[in-house]
Amino acid sequence: MLGICGFCGNPQPESNATAPLGLVSAFGQASEAPDTLHFFISEAGDGPLISDSLLKAGMDSAQFEQLHFGTGDAQFRQLGRYNFIENLDALLIGTEEFWFGKQTLLFTDKKTGKLVGLVEVSHFYGGESGQTASESWWFRNANPPRLYTKLAEHGYRATDGEEPEEYHSEEGILLEWQKGAFQRIPQPDSLGALQKFSMYRVW
């Protein structure tokens, strides 16, 4: 259900928690990756399961809440480990919750394992009447690192006629790593970016 090639969740503040060796080790060695990584929710692809207890031991309760949708029936998967910047790794976690899904990057200190922060990079949520989805592109060669996140919303709304009206909207957000978190920055060509970066999910 989870693929790699989101509105990106708000960057979370630094945690006092230290990611346990078991959590960091579960991701193995950092993977080789292309210059640009595309994060999206697909219909196929998964990774090894990660237990709730392992995750809770490495983050505070507010950060753990960011990983799921709150239905009480989530499971989490290890999807990859990447070099982020000189002193940080990025651990990619996938969440599966009914037919919903999301992907989150956890940033951990390479020496201590301390969790520095996290950011949502893709999601799919909704039902027959309406859905939202996000996908992100991580430009790994940018200095400092940048994320472009595209958010889409699709659904049906009531009209004066008998048939509901279908709607579909998209917006893009450019983020840059600043002072230990991804911060939103101006886009030089927002319309051009929307046209250039096509989402995996289409309606």
Q: Is the dihedral of CA 111, 113, 116, 120 positive or negative?
A: positive
Does the residue 52 lie in any domain?
yes
Average pLDDT over residues 141-147: 94
**Which pLDDT does position 8 carry in this prediction?**
34
Domain count, the chain: 1
Assigned domain for 203 exists: no
Structural domain that includes position 49:
2-196
Asked, for residue 201, whether it belongs to a domain, the answer is: no
How far is CA 130 from each of CA 61, 103, 154, 167, rounded to the nearest angstrom?
A: 29, 20, 6, 9
Bigger pLDDT: 135 vs 163:
135
Under the banding of pLDDT at 50, 70 and 90, the label for residue 132 is very high
- Does a structural domain hold residue 111? yes
Longest dimension (CA), the chain: 62
What single-letter amino acid sits at 83? N
Residue 177 falls inside a structural domain:
yes
* pLDDT at residue 18, as a whole number: 52
41 found inside a domain: yes
**Does residue 187 lie in a domain region?**
yes
**CB-based contacts of 60, cutoff 8 Å, min separation 6:** 15, 16, 17
Give the Cα separation of 105 and 47 in Å (integer): 15
| 63-77 tens-digit pLDDT | 999 998 888 789 999
Q: Within 10 Å of residue 27's Cβ, how many Cβ atoms?
A: 24
Confidence at residue 54, expressed as pLDDT on a 0 to 100 scale: 87
Q: How confident is the model at residue 150 (pLDDT cuts 50, 70, 90)?
A: very high
Asked if residue 174 belongs to a domain, the reply is yes
Answer yes or no: is pLDDT of 11 > 50: no
